[in-house]
Structure 1
């Protein structure tokens, strides 16, 4: 079953450029190293401090591989310094 994840992240005001630099590195690492990840994009909303990662995975094993990857753990920790609270995560089971 294909799975989707939407991660909404608020960033501390004034930290947008630093967050974008690290988050972009993460997106590139996921795209280059996770064959089970079908989509992984960083998006900016109309709110200048709100970002959204849109993610799509082949199956639950691909989600687990993503969460366990070195790049997710290290760059995710690095991104945390710029975040204004925990991300809002929405998990989706694709139907069609």
Structure 2
């Protein structure tokens, strides 16, 4: 079963452009270097200054490996100062 979740976060208003740039770089890096990632896509939510990412990996180990990649560490370091608080993961399981 795939390891899938949505993570929601708020971003400081003056950091939105920096955050979006980092999101786009992360999506590209994951697509280029992580064949066990099934989906990795950021979205702007309708609530002001709010964003979400949907991540899906073949296994939980693939998610853990993703967090250990050089591109993740580098780009996440650009994202973290943009966050107004932390982020919250909600895991998504298939209906059957």
The alignment's TM-score, normalised by the length of structure 2, stands at: 0.91
Query: Structure 1 regions of 5+ residues with no counterpart?
Result: none
Q: What is the rounded CA distance, in whole Å, between the counterparts of 1:35 and 1:18 in structure 2?
A: 26
Q: How many residues align?
A: 96
- Stretches (4+) displaced over 6 A: none
> CA RMSD of the aligned region, Å?
1.3
Q: What is the rounded CA distance, in whole Å, between the counterparts of 2:95 and 2:69 in structure 1?
A: 27
The structure that is strand-richer by fraction is: 2
Q: What is the rounded CA distance, in whole Å, between the counterparts of 2:14 and 2:7 in structure 1?
A: 21
Residue 20 of structure 1 and its aligned partner are, at CA, apart by 0.2
The structure that is helix-richer by fraction is: 2
8 A contact 1:42–1:52 mirrored in 2: yes
Q: What is the rounded CA distance, in whole Å, between the counterparts of 1:3 and 1:61 in structure 2?
A: 9
8 A contact 1:3–1:94 mirrored in 2: no
Residue 39 of structure 1 and its aligned partner are, at CA, apart by 0.3
The alignment's TM-score, normalised by the length of structure 1, stands at: 0.91
- Does 2:22 match 1:22? yes
Query: Structure 2 regions of 5+ residues with no counterpart?
Result: none
Residue 46 of structure 1 and its aligned partner are, at CA, apart by 0.7
